[in-house]
Amino acid sequence: MSPVHLCLMSLLVGLAWVSGISARPLARDNSTLPARLVFAHFMAGFVSEYAESDWLSDITLAHNFGLDGFALNVDESAAIPTQLTNAFSAAESFNAGLTDGTQFVLFVSFDFLHYSTSDPQSVADALTPILDSSAYLVVDGKKMVSSFEGDGMDWSSVASAAGQALYPVPYYSSGASNAGDANVDGLFSWYTWPGQDTNDVVYQNMTTDVDEGYLTGLEAAGKYYMAPVSPWFYAHLPASTGYPKNNYLYSDVLWPTRWAQILSMASASQNLRWVEVITWNDWTESSLISPFKGAEMSDGNYLWSEDFPHTSMGKMMAPYIAAFKSGGTTPTITQDQLFYWYRPTLKDVDCDSTDTVGTKPTGWDMAADSIFVTALTTTSGTVTLTTSSGDSSQSVEAEVNVLAFPMVAGQQTLTLTTSDGRTGSSTGAIEVLGDSCYNGVYNFNVYSGDLTVDGSGSTSSSSGSSSGGASSTVPSLTASSPADASSGVPASSDTASGVSVTASSDASSSAPASAVNAEASDPVVSSVGTALSAVASSAALSSHAASATGQANPASSSFSVANLSACLSQCLAA
């Protein structure tokens, strides 16, 4: 990777934070917020062989993550009635042992790729056996239901057939226009990856444009919104499966960016009542936050899923969930933690001859050859990446720090050292491959790992792999203090914009910095210009919203497009 590309990729990571700023002004008062809950979308059709003990294990882990429940995605497969019984029995048993006043709840989300809107009786038949469970979610005296698709469903007919009042919060592909539908009490959005609506290659991070449309319509109708959040998207299924999918949607820093967006929107609107994580266990699209427990593996997804749990991404949610429930704009950080994720191979590797699909996924060139780190720290410190080439370090502050290190082949070690001398490390369990293919296939899924440094300096970690170039300095990006000038980046770097970028000669590149020129056709270069335009528009909206309410938006008050432009010029001059 050339210095100019390193700089530009670093800038893009930074833009992910800035472009994620919500234009909605901050709410003045959160004292009347309804009870906020966070769920995970559970693919019940994927666990046909689960026993009640398996459900109890998943519920326990989800509760430890800070989740309040599961939205149970159901189809019409033969195993669903048994699995619903197992799930609710496990939840009831789990709740009986809780002493903190909380409860883990479940509700059904109907998959209308399998059900029909013209057959409300079949929908009611799936609900009837479990509606009286003490673990079923009740909202305003009604049993909550959701859906994937099902536009135009007559939920009142379902309620009549089931004999109980229902509280429908569906996802319809027709979107926010359904806010005024008398048949729904709220709406859920599935739009949580860039470009997912068309599966186009969209080289940008998520915005809140779709969410804002939902909130505007639902606020006018006096209804509530369930916002989506997801850690990743990669699907690699051949046509022989009947579900051909071969695409990567830009996800490099989607997880921390999307959670920051959720907090920004929730602090501004009391109508954002729920969050649903997409997903708990869909390993076929790499969106899971649980350990891989694949039972349906005939499509070959295990080749790029089985060794890549996203459990550490699930662990990262707790501080964000706490802030969401309290109306806070930043995560509630109470301990020093580091979370990271990475792909097992460099993106340019050629796997055509052994791959199950035979071609690279759409969007492969958007992925950065990086290990991504989110450090949630109570004090300043240093994150160090150790490889066979040496050490690469970045400073962090007492806040959310999103970092990116260039990826090189081999085993890696991540270390978090706090300013008061406490240290924790995590050594990778999977090596990054340089010129070969993991299990012979293209793999744009990620492995996630984490470590926690306690008050005495002890480390609790979930092992994973990490990697970095010995002489490359990459951005230190912070969510809560975009103008922080003490990020540890040399004074010559541009820090006022909230994006600190220093490009040095990449150890993996044989070309000196002076010999590298960016071409206008380069997708990395062109995408920066597009992102800058989007950020400028977002900043203008944020400024307008703040002016209209007399409130300053702390996430955008120090933002400067000119500073980003100067940084871009610095990159291109490298």
CATH assignment of the domain containing 261? 3.20.20.80
Does residue 17 form part of some domain?
no
Q: Which residues is 415 bridged to in the sheet?
A: 384, 425
What would the mean pLDDT of 359-384 be, rounded to a whole number?
A: 95
pLDDT value at residue 456: 59
258 and 238 share a domain?
Answer: yes
Does residue 21 form part of some domain?
no
469 or 377, greater pLDDT: 377
CA 385 to each of CA 11, 228, 375: distance values in angstroms, whole numbers, following the listed order: 20, 32, 13
pLDDT in tens, 259-305: 999 999 999 999 999 999 999 999 999 999 999 886 665 667 889 89
Nearest CA-CA partner of 170 in 134, 117, 105, 128: 117
Cα atoms in the Cβ-side hemisphere of radius 13 Å centred on 105: 20
Task: Say which range, 49-63, 145-159, 400-414, has the weakest mean pLDDT.
Answer: 400-414
Does residue 19 form part of some domain?
no
pLDDT value at residue 297: 58
CA 300 to each of CA 295, 343, 353, 528: distance values in angstroms, whole numbers, following the listed order: 11, 18, 16, 36
Does residue 24 form part of some domain?
no
Task: Give the residue numbers spanning the domain of 357.
Answer: 336-572
Largest distance between two CA atoms of the chain: 74
Does residue 3 form part of some domain?
no
503 and 527 share a domain?
Answer: yes
Does residue 343 form part of some domain?
yes
274 and 355 share a domain?
Answer: no
What are the tokens at 375? Answer: 């450090």
| Residue ending a domain, choose from 326, 360, 386 | 326
pLDDT in tens, 214-229: 999 999 999 999 999 9
446 and 512 share a domain?
Answer: yes
286 and 389 share a domain?
Answer: no
pLDDT value at residue 566: 38
pLDDT value at residue 266: 97
What would the mean pLDDT of 50-71 be, rounded to a whole number?
A: 97
52 and 127 share a domain?
Answer: yes
What would the mean pLDDT of 192-212 be, rounded to a whole number?
A: 83
Highest mean pLDDT among 245-259, 401-415, 532-546: 245-259
On average, the pLDDT of the chain sits at 78
260 and 343 share a domain?
Answer: no
Residue with tokens 């085993």: 411
pLDDT value at residue 523: 36
Nearest CA-CA partner of 42 in 370, 314, 245, 250: 314
Percent of the chain exceeding pLDDT 90 equals 60
407 and 377 share a domain?
Answer: yes
On whether the CB atoms of residues 130 and 154 are closer than 8 A, the answer is no
pLDDT value at residue 540: 33
Does residue 62 form part of some domain?
yes
| Residue ending a domain, choose from 295, 326, 357 | 326
Total number of domains in the chain? 2
What would the mean pLDDT of 136-162 be, rounded to a whole number?
A: 96
- State yes or no: pLDDT of 165 exceeds 60: yes
pLDDT value at residue 440: 96
What would the mean pLDDT of 372-380 be, rounded to a whole number?
A: 96
Task: Say which range, 81-95, 158-172, 383-397, has the weakest mean pLDDT.
Answer: 383-397
Rounded-to-integer distance, Cα 278 and Cα 233, Å: 10
What would the mean pLDDT of 174-203 be, rounded to a whole number?
A: 88
299 and 362 share a domain?
Answer: no
Mutual orientation of helices 523-549 and 561-572 as an angle, nearest 10°? 170
151 or 526, greater pLDDT: 151
- State yes or no: pLDDT of 350 exceeds 80: yes
283 and 356 share a domain?
Answer: no
Q: How confident is the model at residue 548 (pLDDT cuts 50, 70, 90)?
A: very low
On whether the CB atoms of residues 171 and 190 are closer than 8 A, the answer is yes
Q: How confident is the model at residue 452 (pLDDT cuts 50, 70, 90)?
A: very high
On whether the CB atoms of residues 193 and 248 are closer than 8 A, the answer is no
pLDDT value at residue 449: 93
104 or 546, greater pLDDT: 104
- State yes or no: pLDDT of 71 exceeds 90: yes
- State yes or no: pLDDT of 48 exceeds 80: yes
On whether the CB atoms of residues 180 and 142 are closer than 8 A, the answer is no
Residues whose CB is less than 8 angstroms from the CB of residue 383 and which lie 6 or more positions away in sequence, other chains included:
338, 373, 375, 393, 394, 396, 401, 403, 414, 415, 416
344 and 413 share a domain?
Answer: yes
What are the tokens at 84? Answer: 């619903």
Task: Say which range, 63-77, 238-252, 493-507, has the weakest mean pLDDT.
Answer: 493-507
Residue 515 one-letter amino acid: A
pLDDT value at residue 202: 78
102 and 72 share a domain?
Answer: yes
Q: How confident is the model at residue 57 (pLDDT cuts 50, 70, 90)?
A: very high
Report angle CA 257, 260, 264 to the nearest 5 degrees.
140
Rounded-to-integer distance, Cα 511 and Cα 19, Å: 32
What would the mean pLDDT of 51-58 be, rounded to a whole number?
A: 98
- State yes or no: pLDDT of 496 exceeds 70: no
pLDDT value at residue 199: 59
pLDDT in tens, 84-108: 999 999 999 999 999 988 899 999 9
Does residue 8 form part of some domain?
no
| Residue ending a domain, choose from 305, 326, 347 | 326
